Amino acid sequence: MKPGYKAIYQQYRQSIVSGLLKPGDKVPSVRVLASELGVARKTVETAWAILVGEGYLVSQGARGTRVNPDLQLNAAPTLDCSPAPVDELSPLAEVMRNQSGLLHPGIPALDAFPYKKWLLLGGKAVRSMSAGEMINPPLLGYTPLREAIAHYLNISRGLSCTAEQIFITSGYSFNLRLILNALTTANDKVLFEDPGYFFGAQALKRAANNLHFVPVDEHGLNVDYLQQYHSDARLLFVTPSHHSPLAVTLSLPRKHQLLAWAAQNNSWIVEDDYDGEFHYTRKVLPALKSLDSDDRVIYMGTFSKTVMPALRLSYIVMPRATLAAFRETAHISESGQPVLTQKIVAAFLSEGHFYKHLKKMRPLYSQRRHYVLRALEQVYPGIFSVEVSDGGMHIVAFLHTSTQDVAIAMIWQQHQLEVSPLSRWYNSTHKRYGLVIGYTNVRTQEEALSLLARPARETRALLKQQSEFTAGY
Amino acid sequence: MKPGYKAIYQQYRQSIVSGLLKPGDKVPSVRVLASELGVARKTVETAWAILVGEGYLVSQGARGTRVNPDLQLNAAPTLDCSPAPVDELSPLAEVMRNQSGLLHPGIPALDAFPYKKWLLLGGKAVRSMSAGEMINPPLLGYTPLREAIAHYLNISRGLSCTAEQIFITSGYSFNLRLILNALTTANDKVLFEDPGYFFGAQALKRAANNLHFVPVDEHGLNVDYLQQYHSDARLLFVTPSHHSPLAVTLSLPRKHQLLAWAAQNNSWIVEDDYDGEFHYTRKVLPALKSLDSDDRVIYMGTFSKTVMPALRLSYIVMPRATLAAFRETAHISESGQPVLTQKIVAAFLSEGHFYKHLKKMRPLYSQRRHYVLRALEQVYPGIFSVEVSDGGMHIVAFLHTSTQDVAIAMIWQQHQLEVSPLSRWYNSTHKRYGLVIGYTNVRTQEEALSLLARPARETRALLKQQSEFTAGY
């Protein structure tokens, strides 16, 4: 991270946001600006790449690079509204991270959490602290929690695993680092879904030298493609239960095909079951790991979606053949998770509150999804289409005709609606466009309608302007 | 981590431990064994290197490699006593990690912790949880805790920093990863002390491609050496208050010299102030960071030593020029620390309990160190010598004549005394030999005497055998 490109990026972003540079204006070529500023071309290229990625600039090949002609800038630009302590951040990461708004994907229903039970268990866990629990926590996790998770997974997700295979972690980035360190060497081929979990792709681009993307269609990951091009992959990340973000379910034949691919090529599959607990139909497909007779699947689960994100508690299920590798990695570079939170969650699980809570959340989330789907139809008729899947915590509202999901998401975010532009979750150029919308905290039909109505005028104006612009060609 | 070397390592260790191979026996050469087993030479070399490092084998150059003739194996070998879930671990890491025994360096006095206050604050923190505290925690830390830490550092450690510069982390390995990601690129030169913190060196050997070691003498890090050979370093890790493990304090002239070196070469210094809170004399030297007028020092502090390791809470102070780089790194690869523990610690600090607790611990630790020093003199007259420093949480008992600290530590560990062999903390061949002994949990003079007496007979026998062996040459 050299300061060079960032300064250029910020200066140009500021110029565009403040109106000094207008939509359609040409910006200098990489060669010219690099020589003018006395920096490497790479530096300018990086700044341009970010600005293009964020939609401020568009590259038009030999015709040069311009300020995005479709750019819609409001009187009070979003970026200037960001709170002081984060003002120097990449706005991309910032926008994707912000959870304080509404409709943010992946946040559990905060109003439906069993606070009383939780406080009771929390108080108990605090009071029962022993001297032995003051020293470093067990590296792989607090034993009663590992046991409770193994029990839960056996009963609810159809896995057959033991507590010994459970590794308690602090979340997605921990899991990713741990798995890469334990199972791969520097140049191993690593595969990720396209589209795929935004932060996963970002983190892997940094951590894996030999990263490739595998397309996803309406049946989930394209396993034929995998077999054809990637028999030499070491590791594949996949979201079979509800694809992130498309929410489609990997079909059963593909699941078997995928497991066969891994067995044949000695590859490891990481099953990210980030919201597999939430299914609203009777047709519950088993977790990939439950079909994994060759023990090629590392299963990842999290309490961020089922309990609360503030816990920073998640876990992986290690295949038996990998136990030693994971332990060794843990011994060299990890130091365990805080004991207190592990104790509370262990009691939450083993006393049955977790199961009860999930059972309550399923119909609630299904209901809340319905509110949002109906509101979308009413407020934005003909603009979005939604392919309803069997569960999860978010929907994807695809744009029928527009590709302006980034601009629309920025409008919505100005109204504190923290939806995410679908195109940002793609890494190839075969993008689809739409909004990823979390519905778990929308309490009533009226609330859904009033929230979605907030950015309606501006959204329609943007789309109208765009269609006139297109028609004008 | 290929299984190959580990299998070889384990097989030979087992053969030695079980007595199949006897002290002095020759083992096959790398070339011969590699060809016999059909593995790469590197694989055998790695296994041999670990066995040599752990003292099972000794390499005698052209005369080949033998089972260590000084090896003292007890009827019930340590390694077979390890509990089932960790039996496949590298015994090195395992032994260094084990905290369940006595005399382990770096564990605070568990009997002197203000439990009542803590439980009260814990209960309060649990009960006051708000919905806003259920979502992902702030990436850089819970604001009241960042403020409380800044306040504490200003008052007690002489730093002038603001809450904005505090980054709450989960411990040493987190800090290390964060700092490397934020401030270095792949081939930047990174420097570490020799000897130096055992786990730090292990982790850096994995994470930094271009790692070098800088010798430490009785005044701390050798800054002349640094200036002579490492003007091109990007990052230096140093423990100025009480060197880890030698416990010497970096002299004030050297501190200034070190800061000048960093300013001159645009290098970053990481000050690991892991137990700087514990000083028992009036001659309190300021933290390096407090003298850092050029803002080249990243300060690392931890609550593992001052409160309890189970918290997994520590922090760094970011130089102003690095704020953006750290934030960007955090946004890409981190997700914050659990809110609950941060809330409890914030209250512990801001309500003054932390200060009171430290104030009580200083005379207590000084007293307990005295118990252990006296017991060492009485039980092992003429065997160890200790250079008493101004504070810290451990002493180094240097062996006068022997180099068998690994074998001695193994004996002590069989008596549940989790002392650490000093030579293991070195990376060069200029090693010193001794035991790193934690004294914070030794409550009385009698306890000190009885603990140290446990391995006395076997320790003396080992040393006697060794001196006869030497005399026999």
What are the pLDDT digits (tens) for A101-148? Answer: 699 999 999 999 999 999 999 999 999 988 888 888 999 999 999 999
Residue of A nearest to B84 (CA): A164
- Residue A373: is its pLDDT beyond 70? yes
Question: Which pLDDT band, with edges at 50, 70 and 90, does B472 fall under?
Answer: low
Tokens of B385: 């010598």
| pTM of full prediction above 0.95 | no
Interchain CB distance below 8 Å, A123 and B127: yes
CB pairs under 8 A between A and B: 178
User: Which among A206, A310, A336 has CB closest to B137?
Assistant: A310
Shortest Cα distance from B191 to chain A (angstroms)? 18
Q: Give the pLDDT confidence score for residue A83 in this predicted structure.
A: 31
- Residue A375: is its pLDDT beyond 70? yes
Q: Are residues B247 and B341 in the same domain?
A: yes
Question: Which pLDDT band, with edges at 50, 70 and 90, does B357 fall under?
Answer: very high
Inside any domain, residue B74: no
Q: Are residues B25 and B45 in the same domain?
A: yes
Shortest Cα distance from A173 to chain B (angstroms)? 6
Cβ burial, residue B196 (10 Å; 0-12/13-18/19+): buried
Q: Are residues B97 and B224 in the same domain?
A: no
Question: Which pLDDT band, with edges at 50, 70 and 90, does B179 fall under?
Answer: very high
Inside any domain, residue A74: no
Pick the last residue of a domain from B323, B351, B379: B351
Contacts with B172 from chain A: Cβ below 8 Å: 335
Question: Which pLDDT band, with edges at 50, 70 and 90, does B93 fall under?
Answer: very low
- Residue A2: is its pLDDT beyond 70? no
Cβ atoms A213, A428 nearer than 8 A: yes
User: Which among B107, B119, B177 has CB closest to A135?
Assistant: B107
Q: Give the pLDDT confidence score for residue B31 in this predicted structure.
A: 78
Q: Are residues B312 and B199 in the same domain?
A: yes
3-state helix, strand, coil in chain B (%, to 5): 50, 15, 35
Residue of A nearest to B1 (CA): A325
d(CA B108, CA A134): 9
Count, residues in chain B: 473
**Optimal mutation site among B140, B197, B333, interface A, most CBs of chain A within 10 A:** B333
- Residue A454: is its pLDDT beyond 80? yes
Question: Which pLDDT band, with edges at 50, 70 and 90, does B95 fall under?
Answer: very low
Inside any domain, residue B80: no
User: Which among B93, B113, B132 has CB closest to A331?
Assistant: B93
Shortest Cα distance from A295 to chain B (angstroms)? 17
d(CA B418, CA B442): 13
Q: Are residues B131 and B50 in the same domain?
A: no
Query: Can you list the positions of beta strands (E) in B178-260?
Result: 189-194, 210-217, 220-221, 235-238
Contacts with A89 from chain B: Cβ below 8 Å: 324, 327-328, 331
Shortest Cα distance from B231 to chain A (angstroms)? 20
Pick the last residue of a domain from B351, B368, B389: B351
- Residue A192: is its pLDDT beyond 60? yes
- Residue A374: is its pLDDT beyond 70? yes
Q: Are residues B426 and B468 in the same domain?
A: yes
Interchain CB distance below 8 Å, B132 and A100: yes
Give the domain range for residue B145. 113-351
Question: Which pLDDT band, with edges at 50, 70 and 90, does B82 fall under?
Answer: very low
Tell me how many degrees the CA angle B293-B294-B300 measures, rounded to the nearest 5: 85
Least confident of A5-19, A183-197, A241-255, B99-113: A5-19
Q: Give the pLDDT confidence score for residue A54 in this predicted structure.
A: 55
> Closest Cα partner for B370 from B453, B306, B422, B448?
B448
Interchain CB distance below 8 Å, B333 and A131: no
Q: Give the pLDDT confidence score for residue A85 in this predicted structure.
A: 34
- Report the mean per-residue pLDDT for chain A: 86
Q: Give the pLDDT confidence score for residue A34 in this predicted structure.
A: 76
Shortest Cα distance from B328 to chain A (angstroms)? 6
Contacts with A338 from chain B: Cβ below 8 Å: 310-313, 338, 341
Q: DSSP states of A140-180 as a string?
A: T--HHHHHHHHHHHHHHS-----GGGEEEESSHHHHHHHHH
Interchain CB distance below 8 Å, B134 and A309: yes
Contacts with B323 from chain A: Cβ below 8 Å: 88
Least confident of A212-226, B56-70, B360-374: B56-70
Q: Are residues A346 and A390 in the same domain?
A: no
Interchain CB distance below 8 Å, B312 and A336: yes
Interchain CB distance below 8 Å, A329 and B1: yes
Q: Are residues A254 and A138 in the same domain?
A: yes
Inside any domain, residue B453: yes
Q: Are residues A26 and A167 in the same domain?
A: no
Q: What share of chain A in percent tops pLDDT 90?
A: 64
Residue of B nearest to A3 (CA): B325
Least confident of B4-13, B58-67, B174-183: B4-13
Q: Are residues A175 and A195 in the same domain?
A: yes
Three-class secondary structure of residue A58 per DSSP: strand
Residue of A nearest to B121 (CA): A126
Inside any domain, residue B280: yes
Interchain CB distance below 8 Å, A333 and B206: yes
Residue-wise pLDDT for B390-422, tens only, equals: 888 999 999 999 999 999 999 999 999 999 999
Interchain CB distance below 8 Å, B118 and A129: yes
Q: Give the pLDDT confidence score for residue B18 in this predicted structure.
A: 59
Least confident of A85-89, A351-355, B367-371: A85-89
Checking DSSP bridges between strand B220-221 and strand B314-317, what pairing results, if any? unpaired
What is the CATH classification number for the domain harbouring B194? 3.40.640.10
User: Which among B113, B308, B324 has CB closest to A88?
Assistant: B324
Report the domain count for chain A: 3
DSSP state letter for A286: P
Q: Are residues A316 and A408 in the same domain?
A: no
Higher-confidence residue of A248 and A82: namely A248
- Residue B260: is its pLDDT beyond 70? yes
- Residue B365: is its pLDDT beyond 50? yes
Q: Give the pLDDT confidence score for residue A332 in this predicted structure.
A: 83
Q: Give the pLDDT confidence score for residue B281 in this predicted structure.
A: 73
Q: Give the pLDDT confidence score for residue B296 in this predicted structure.
A: 98
Question: Which pLDDT band, with edges at 50, 70 and 90, does A391 fall under?
Answer: confident
- Residue A42: is its pLDDT beyond 70? yes
Residue of A nearest to B183 (CA): A1
d(CA B240, CA B222): 11
φ/ψ bin of A416: left (φ > 0), alpha (ψ from -120 to 50), beta (otherwise): left
Pick the last residue of a domain from B307, B324, B351: B351
If you average pLDDT over residues A172-177, what whole number do you get?
Answer: 94
If you average pLDDT over residues B222-228, what whole number do you get?
Answer: 95
If you average pLDDT over residues A280-290, what whole number do you get?
Answer: 78
Interchain CB distance below 8 Å, B111 and A93: no
d(CA A185, CA B144): 41
Question: Which pLDDT band, with edges at 50, 70 and 90, does A283 fall under?
Answer: low
User: Which among B122, B202, B308 has CB closest to A332?
Assistant: B202
If you average pLDDT over residues A347-376, what whole number do you get?
Answer: 95
φ/ψ bin of B191: left (φ > 0), alpha (ψ from -120 to 50), beta (otherwise): beta
Residue of A nearest to B325 (CA): A1
If you average pLDDT over residues A31-53, what whole number do you get?
Answer: 73
Q: Are residues A455 and A402 in the same domain?
A: yes
User: Which among A172, A202, A333 has CB closest to B203?
Assistant: A333
Q: Give the pLDDT confidence score for residue B383 in this predicted structure.
A: 96
Inside any domain, residue B424: yes
ipTM: 0.72
Contacts with A115 from chain B: Cβ below 8 Å: 129
What is the CATH classification number for the domain harbouring B26? 1.10.10.10
Inside any domain, residue A265: yes
Q: Give the pLDDT confidence score for residue B125 in this predicted structure.
A: 94
Interchain CB distance below 8 Å, A310 and B99: no
Interchain CB distance below 8 Å, B1 and A135: no
If you average pLDDT over residues B186-190, what whole number do you get?
Answer: 93
Q: Of A37-41, A279-283, A325-329, B94-98, which one has max mean pLDDT?
A: A325-329
What does the CA dihedral A142, A145, A151, A155 come to, rounded to 10 degrees? Answer: -140
Q: Give the pLDDT confidence score for residue A8 in this predicted structure.
A: 75
What does the CA dihedral A303, A305, A310, A315 come to, rounded to 10 degrees? Answer: 30
Inside any domain, residue A222: yes
User: Which among B122, B135, B199 has CB closest to A126?
Assistant: B122
**Optimal mutation site among A333, A337, A361, interface B, most CBs of chain B within 10 A:** A333
Strand order of the β-sheet with B26-27 is B26-27, B65-67, B57-59
- Residue B334: is its pLDDT beyond 90? no
Interchain CB distance below 8 Å, B90 and A115: no
What is the CATH classification number for the domain harbouring A468? 3.90.1150.10
Q: Give the pLDDT confidence score for residue A18 in this predicted structure.
A: 58
If you average pLDDT over residues A160-188, what whole number do you get?
Answer: 95
